[in-house]
Amino acid sequence: MTKFVFVTGGVSSSLGKGLTASSLGRLLKCRGLRVTMIKLDPYINVDPGTMNPYEHGEVFVTEDGGETDLDLGHYERFIDRDLHRDSNATTGSIYSQVIAKERRGDYLGRTVQVIPHVTDEIKERVRRLASDDVDIVIVEVGGTVGDIEILPFLEAIRQFRHDVGRDNVCYLHLTLVPFLGAAGEQKTKPTQHSVTQLRGYGIQPDVIVCRSAESISDGLKRKISLLCDVAVEGVISALDAPSIYDIPLVLHDQGLDTVVCRTLAIDESAHPVDLSGWQRVVDQIAGANRPVRIGLVGKYINLPDAYLSVVESLRHAGFDRGARVEIDWIQAEEVGDLIGTARMAQLDGMVIPGGFGERGIEGKIAAARFSRENQIPCLGLCLGLQVMVIDYARHVGGLEGANSREFDPATRYPVIDLMDDQQNVVDKGGTMRLGNYAARLQPGSKVAAAYDDEVVYERHRHRYEVNPRFRSPLEEAGLICSGIEAQRGLVEFVELPGEVHPYWVGTQAHPEFKSRPDRPHPLFRELVAAALERAEGRLPHLPDIDTDVTAAS
């Protein structure tokens, strides 16, 4: 029978529930258990697809096209399992389903209430993930105990133990143990209050994970154990780690996976832990000391979570190459002012990530041109590919004023446009392309060499495409359309040949969603490899640059 771990948080947001849940998932997987995960989000949006990145960070896209919370990215990277749209449930999606059932008459005229109808729907979302090939479902409840919007979720998970049996549910609560400088000691009172509030909702935690800057003492563990009615071994110290990928080892040393297995009546002798593979990842991280500077040219750089998967993919590629990737966050709107400065010239590589809307587009186009003309390795993602095509059309292909119809509806050369399934331009609407699509790669191209394959599958999240009307003129001007969507013939990858540029590659997809710490994505791996060549002098840097402007880290 599938077992369930429910992860809640208290005291403060941003304590790391997602990383704690992901790390536990990895530890259980290292014991040979089959793990999947789900995020329950209390916001009323049906999904984060229409939310501004400043509101909620990046939108993570699943294989089946689900637009989900960014924590699912952590889940996939840690447990190395492709999740799906059912792995994220919001208040909005749950109430939408309940209302739809009421309109169909599914409730037979009964009064529809939070209990049992909303809570039953929440439980049903969790049960969907239980199957014959899943041993444990880890359920993260967004928000913190005390938030009014998570009360239905807490009631639903309280009922869950009653529904499936005590030995099949483990409640894990994450809290903060702050250090007060004036008192010169760590304080457990916030944890006590948080657990008291959780117990007031009928949930007695089996495990309390205490976030702190430094490890909490055995004495404090005993105090929390006594006052919160949790076994001493169930009080886990989660101190700050050198990297997020150290967290599973930190929590294992504290015995987290052991106490969870015991709570769930899992025979530990039948599931011994093997951390050797994960330890290799951590050792790689510790040994990554070759500095390489990558400029990330984005619109939302004031909130790094907007590009979370991109940054992690760069780091994964760095681990693989023994490189310490330093991100230079470059505001797209400021690129024009930075051209000709040391900050741009000293970049070893560049990533132009995805996005929506006109703001900062000319800066992104300028960045693509700068990297192309100055031999700086560059990877364009989704919108990044589109601005690379626009740059090439304008400045090499002779299509002056070329643009995307998204940004200039009256452009004479709409090299990027809305396309229907027959490659015809459409006036409006346009279905967003979401989820996995296949692309056939051109033999001998950089992308074919990187993937070492002829057909690849990548996740997508966009509406606009390279206009096939302009494909021939662009190719005649030297741009290689090196990957074509298998069914409709849409352009998926572009690049410049090696004799022209060391690495100038764009993809219409979001390959960052498939990178793993122990298996970096090929496109990021090759970008970092080319950037390392530049950083270590095997590719030339630009001469005669104003060195009064210094690079920002």
- List active site positions: 382, 510, 512
β partners of residue 323: 290
Q: Are 401 and 412 in contact (CB under 8 A)?
A: yes
CA gap 332, 512 in Å, rounded:
20
**E strand or H helix that includes residue 492:** strand 491-495
Minimal CA–CA distance to 28: which of 6, 5, 47? 5
Give the SS3 label for residue 415. strand
Lookup: tokens for 270: 């039948």
Q: Are 32 and 271 in contact (CB under 8 A)?
A: yes
Minimal CA–CA distance to 256: which of 518, 13, 517, 22? 22
What DSSP string describes 316-376?
HHHHHHTEEEEEEEEEGGGHHHHTTBHHHHT-SEEEE----SSTTHHHHHHHHHHHHHTT-
Minimal CA–CA distance to 247: which of 17, 514, 87, 41? 17
β partners of residue 292: 325
Please report which residue ranges of 414-521 form alpha helices under DSSP H: 446-451, 471-476
What is the torsional sign of CA 144, 146, 148, 153? positive
Q: Are 517 and 391 in contact (CB under 8 A)?
A: no
Side by side, the strands of the sheet bearing 207-212 are 88-90, 35-41, 136-141, 3-9, 169-176, 207-212, 235-239
CA distances from 187 to 167, 176, 221, 240 (A): 32, 9, 11, 17
Q: Are 311 and 517 in contact (CB under 8 A)?
A: no
Cis previous bond, 116, omega within 30: yes
Counted residue by residue, the chain has a size of 553
The residues, any chain, with a CB within 8 Å of residue 448's CB and separated by 6 or more, are 441, 442, 454, 482
Lookup: tokens for 550: 């210094």
Lookup: tokens for 542: 């630009």
Lookup: tokens for 202: 């009928």
Minimal CA–CA distance to 171: which of 230, 94, 101, 88? 230
Q: How far is CA 269 from the centre of its chain?
A: 34
Residue reference for tokens 């060391």:
502
CA gap 461, 448 in Å, rounded:
22
